[in-house]
Amino acid sequence: MHPRMVSKFKAVIFDLDGVITDTAHYHYLAWKRLADSVGAPFDEAFNEQLKGVDRVGSLELILARAPRTYAPEEKRSLADAKNGHYQELIATMTPADLLPGALRALEDVRAAGLRIGLASVSRNAFTVLDRLGIRDRFDDVVDAATIVNGKPDPEIFLTAAAHLGVAPADCLGVEDAAAGVASIKDAGMVAVGVGSRDVLHRADHVIPSLAAFRLQDY
- Model confidence pLDDT, tens digit, residues 197-206: 999 999 999 9
> Model's pTM, two decimal places?
0.85
Lowest mean pLDDT among 25-29, 104-108, 187-191: 25-29
Question: Sheet of 11-14: strands edge to edge?
Answer: 140-141, 115-118, 11-14, 171-175, 190-194, 205-207
* DSSP β-bridge partners for residue 18: none
Position 214 scores a pLDDT of 96
Percent of the chain at pLDDT > 90 equals 83
Strand partners, 201: none
139 is catalytic: no
Write down the pLDDT at residue 211.
Answer: 97
CA distance 194 to 1: 31
The predicted model gives 19-34 an average pLDDT of 92
Q: Which of 75, 86, 79 is closest to 17 using CA atoms? A: 86
| Catalytic residue list contains 15 | yes
Provide, for the chain, the percentages of residues in helix, strand and coil under a 3-state DSSP scheme, each rounded to the nearest 5.
Answer: 45, 10, 40
DSSP state letter for 140 = E
pLDDT at position 188 over 80: yes
- pLDDT band, residue 86 (cuts 50/70/90): very high
pLDDT category, 5, cuts 50, 70, 90?
A: low
Is residue 79 within 8 Å of 67, Cβ to Cβ?
A: no
Q: Please, which residues bridge with residue 12 across strands? A: 116, 172
75 in Cβ contact with 57 (< 8 Å): no
**Per-residue pLDDT tens for 105-121?**
999 999 999 999 999 98
Q: In the predicted model, is pLDDT for residue 89 greater than 90? A: yes
pLDDT digits (tens, 9 = 90+) for 48-62: 888 767 788 999 999
- pLDDT at site 3: 47
Average pLDDT, whole number, for the chain?
93
Calculate ∠ Cα 130-119-114, nearest 5°: 85
Query: Comparing C-alpha atoms, which of 96, 101, 174 is closest to residue 131?
Result: 96
Q: What is the pLDDT of residue 1?
A: 35
pLDDT given for residue 24 in this prediction: 81
**Weakest mean pLDDT among 3-12, 32-41, 58-67:** 3-12
Report percent pLDDT > 70 for the chain.
97
